[in-house]
Structure 1
Amino acid sequence: MKKLEINTTLTVYDSVSELSEQQKEFMIKAVNIRSKAYAPYSKFKVGVALELENGEVVLGTNQENAVFPSGMCAERVAINQAGTLYPGVKILSLFVSAASDNFAVLTPTPPCGGCRQSIFEYEENQNQPIAIYFMGETGKVVKADSVKDLLPLTFGKATLNLI
C-alpha cells in the first residue's frame, strides 16, 4: 500500500476590489443576475457569468423544480446556454456568486460536484482550462485556475478509454 497525496493551489482575494477591472465586471454580472434565480424551495440563489473566447458573456441562474433532481444549477444553465448559442467557442472563465434569502452567505461557494463534472467535460473538449472565480454574497473571492483544482481525480474520456 502507498498513499497518494493530492495538492492544489487556489488564489484567494480579500474582495472583488482586488480583481482586475474586467474580472470585476464579470463578477458583478454574476452578482446582479443572481436575483433572477428561481429558488422558491431552497431560497439559495446562484448567479454565473461565463467569459467566452469570442468576447461574449453568457449568464445563468439556478432553476429549481418541486421534483428536486429536475432543477438545474446556475453553472450548468450557463454552460449549456453557451454550448447552444456559441458551439465550439471556448469558455475562458466562469464567475459564481451565491446568496440566500434565509442567511448571509459570507464564504466563497464553489460549484457543486455535478457542475464540476460538467465544467470538466468542457475543459476536456476544448483542451484548455477554465478559470473559476467564486464567492458568496460579499467578501473573499477564490480563484481556481482549472476545475481540476477542485476535482483532482477526474472521470472523462480517458477513463472510458475513448482517446
Structure 2
Amino acid sequence: MEQKALTIEYKVFKNISELDPTIQNLCEASEKALATAYAPYSNFNVGTAIELEDGKIIKGSNQENVAYPSGLCAERVALFTIGSQFPNAIIKRMAITAQTKKFQISTPVTSCGSCLQVMAEFEQKQKSSIQVVFYCLGGEVVVVNSVKDLMPFSFVEDRLGD
C-alpha cells in the first residue's frame, strides 16, 4: 500500500476591500445576481458572476422548483449560459456569494459537488485554470486558484470524446 496526501493553497481576506479592484467588481456583480434568485422553498439565495477572458461578466442565480431537484444552482445557471451563448469563451474567474433572511451567513459558502463537477469540466475544456472566489457579504473572502484545488478527483474521461 502507498499512502498519499493532498494539500491545497488558498487565500483568505477579511473583506472585499483587500482584493484587487477587478475581483471586487466581480464580487459586487455576484451580489447583484442575488436579486434574480428564485428560492421560495429554501429562502437561500446564491449569486454567481463569471469573468470571461475578454472582460465580459456573466451572472447567474439559483432557480428553484417545487419539483426537487428540477432547479439549478447559480454556478450552473451562469456556466450553462456561457456554454450556450459563448461556447468558445475562456473563463478567467468566478465569484460566488449567498444570502438568506433566516440567519446570518458568517463564512463564505462553497459550491456543491454537482457545480464543482461542471466547473471542473469547463476548466478541462478550456485547458486552463479558473480562479474561484467565495465571497461572504460584508465579511471573509476565500480565493482558490483552480477548480482542481476544490475537486482533485473530478470525473474526467478523455476517451468518451472519441
Same topology, TM > 0.5: yes
Distance 1:76 1:102 in 2: 24
Superposition deviation, residue 31 in structure 1:
0.8
Superposition deviation, residue 2 in structure 1:
2.6
**Consecutive aligned runs of 4 or more in structure 1 exceeding 3 Å deviation:** 160-163
Superposition deviation, residue 153 in structure 1:
1.2
| Cross-structure match for 1:69 | 69
The within-5 A match list for 1:6-17 is 6-17=6-17
| CA deviation profile, 1:66-124 (whole Å, cap 9, x unmatched) | 11111100000000111111110111100001111211111111111100000000000
The within-5 A match list for 1:78-89 is 78-89=78-89
| Cross-structure match for 2:148 | 148
| CA deviation profile, 1:116-152 (whole Å, cap 9, x unmatched) | 0000000000000100000222211001100111101
Q: What secondary structure sits across from 2:59 in the alignment?
A: strand
Superposition deviation, residue 64 in structure 1:
0.4
Distance 1:105 1:13 in 2: 16
Superposition deviation, residue 32 in structure 1:
1.6
| Cross-structure match for 1:33 | 33
| Cross-structure match for 1:49 | 49
Gaps of 5+ in 1: none
TM-score by length of 1: 0.94
Q: What secondary structure sits across from 2:75 in the alignment?
A: helix
| Cross-structure match for 2:121 | 121
Superposition deviation, residue 53 in structure 1:
1.1
Greater CA drift, 1-10 or 37-46 = 1-10
1:22 aligned onto 2:22: yes
Percent identity for Structure 1 against Structure 2: 36
| Cross-structure match for 2:138 | 138
Q: How many residues align?
A: 162
